[in-house]
Chain A
Amino acid sequence: MNPRDEELVASAQSGDRWAFEELVERHKHKAYHIAFDFARDREEAKDLSQEAFLKAFTNLKNFDGRSSFYTWFYRILVNLCLDYKRRQKRAPADEFDETVEHQVEPSQEPRMPRSPDQHVLAGQISRQVGVALQALPPKQRTAFILKNHQGLSIKEIAETMQTAEGTVKVHLHRAVTSLRQRLAEFA
């Protein structure tokens, strides 16, 4: 039987490296995808999610178990992603989508080949979405990504963002309204 996260955390806190590596294996996919949703760049997403694991590793002694490891870890990750976005603010918002297009591995290409028109349109949407997401205030963007991209519940988002569920709902609604206006042409 696989040990629960709490058991692995307890072992890792007493110096068991294997236990921490097991936690990494469990959460690395989701961590990477959250980071990718913020960064929209494969290398950046890898670095951000790995940095979050390192931070969790060095601060594991401070984890008191009041929340789940999952919530605690994703809070670290989201904060790193928001810091990354703050640093990126000066860079042109539409640059990252081009790199994403080139990063898709051959095995992950869509099965149906796109026509040139479809390819252009997909690129256009991707750029526009990138700009629209970038324009959202950090809390709205976080609530939106965790809900829309990651499918977290309102309660989980509230715990991750350390805020009230009602506040998350407001952020989410405002984010959706703003994105809807910016992406109206694709409706």
Chain B
Amino acid sequence: MAVQNNPLSTPCKAFEEDLVLFHYGDLHGSERDALQSHVSACAACADYLKELGQLLPLTVKADEPGQTFWDDYSRELRHKLDAAAEKRTWWQNIAIIFQPRVLSAVAGAAVVVVALAVTLGRGLWPTTDVPRDDAAMMEALPVAENLEFFKAMDVLDDLDLLESMGSQGAA
């Protein structure tokens, strides 16, 4: 085949789309019959069909790999499927936790565990609260430390009393 510079034929506009379908065998019944009778009387449309028959097969690039290729293809794909299945299992395990039903069950169980832990563990866990006796001691200690001071304050109170009595007697 040689490269030519033939001018393209110009088919009838009304039939152009049907001519393409006719070329591919996709025109049926009365439409097909009508086109066939038109083509037999119209040289331009007949040329157009002939052109399609020459040009369109050229666009197909056939590639028929050998058996080795297909064996490799299947083996390679099987490995990829294995990897995908493994990945999917991992994701599925994570995804199961986030399913609404499972999630609400886990949340409910967590609430129950926390409630039980708080209720039953109160007596067992060490607290930062100071025991009652110790607290009394803590209150009394500063007072005991400043006992002398408070005694001095009592003496001052007595002096005040004597002074006021003295002033009353003088009067």
**In the assembled complex, A121 has its CB within 8 A of some CB on chain B:** yes
| Total interface residues in chain B, CB < 8 Å | 38
In the bound complex, residues from chain B placing their C-beta under 8 Å from that of A179 are 55-56, 59
Which of B19-27, B110-118, B154-162 participates in binding chain A?
A: B19-27
The reply to whether A124 and B73 contact each other, CB–CB distance below 8 Å, is: no
B119 at the interface (CB under 8 A from A): no
Q: Does A48 contact B (CB under 8 A)?
A: no
Residue A154 CB within 8 A of the other chain: yes
Q: A20-B81, A54-B81 are in contact. Are A187 and B55 (CB under 8 A)?
A: yes
Secondary structure type dominating chain B contacts: helix
Within 8 A of B (CB), among A31-54: 32-33, 36-37, 40, 42, 45-46, 50, 53-54
Are B8 and A129 in contact, CB atoms less than 8 angstroms apart?
no
B58 touches A125 (CB 8 A): yes
Interface-side segment among A66-74, A78-86, A100-108: A100-108
B interface with A by C-beta (< 8 Å): 1-6, 8, 16-17, 20-21, 24, 26, 51-52, 54-56, 58-61, 63-66, 69-70, 73-74, 76-78, 80-81, 84-85, 88
| A interface, CB within 8 angstroms of B | 17, 20-21, 24-25, 28-29, 32-33, 36-37, 40, 42, 45-46, 50, 53-54, 57-58, 97, 100, 103-105, 107-108, 121, 124-126, 129, 132-133, 144, 147-149, 153-154, 169-170, 172-173, 176-177, 179-181, 183-187
